Structure 1
């Protein structure tokens, strides 16, 4: 059953001689529970695609369906609710709030949405990520790998429909990169969590079950990775 459907997605920046076509008629379907890597050269449009799927950016044309809902028609307020409830966004530089503890960073999406915190579920997530003894620490007291684990926990705590990760290992060494990807694979297999990763790293891409290649705003490859 598809969880994501993108139809004829177009995104342009600038105008006249400065116009850049970031996405040029992209069509894409992703099934619930897939682990997908999106690859391509810098400027190919892969991050733009991820940001539109995540409701961070809006297309010039086309439609994006998540769980059957066309988010490309949402207002700014509806998109804010959507981001807090349906997608878990993970970035290369973690985006943690420095003056909040690890626990409070993880709980923040739930608190913004005035939802109750399931302590058992939170503890299960942080234990799997190996940060259960860091809940009272601040981001500055953590290594890069630990900060990315906090970002993952924050994205998982509200059980989103899709996890979207933009170069999640781009700021990590090889050991931490491997551990982060193994964590994604665990959540994908055990919780059937749908995960889409943008990456330049071939080794990271090869861990996904499906690899989509974008060049010049168009999908030029879509392969199942056995």
Structure 2
């Protein structure tokens, strides 16, 4: 059996050695503290930069999103006529409503659909086509006169079933629509008009021009013509005024 040598007991460091170690540690401590402080400062600075970068990025994204987002129309923003009227003056809304009525009636006549033109008038309506000369003198004689929807239907029947005439194309031009008066009873409005006529193999010509003098009212919330006096400018009238102007 081999005999293991005995380990020598470790020598305890002397006081001088301990003092040297302590002195070295004390010398190195400030440097370590400074290095730690520097690293802490760097970390905090990086965090601050990241935060500011995130904030600016969010602001830029919001601005770009606002600019690129499609603008909502007035009707979509409001959702109802009441809120629209808060931004648009009432007289403008009334004029727009009157213009819609005028344009719809003109489109019906331009397409030759005279059988339905009475639907734009009230049951007790009056329709008159008269020269400016007679109107200014207070003379009642007109080129066309119809009373009530029955009179309008008779006029339509005369045009489509009894009168012989060449096919023609009509174009109504309406401008300068103005609201003269608006009360609970109804609306008084005026507008300029011009009717162009085109016959086969002929140049387009002005058939009639003048102004509308209208009294309008609402039936079940729908705007209709109670009285229309179409005052044409010229004292001479072509013999071929078949359709109402």
The two structures have a TM-score, normalised by structure 1, of 0.26
Higher fraction of helix: 2
Q: Which has the higher contact order (CA 8 A, sep 6+)?
A: 1
Superposition TM-score, scaled by structure 2 size: 0.24
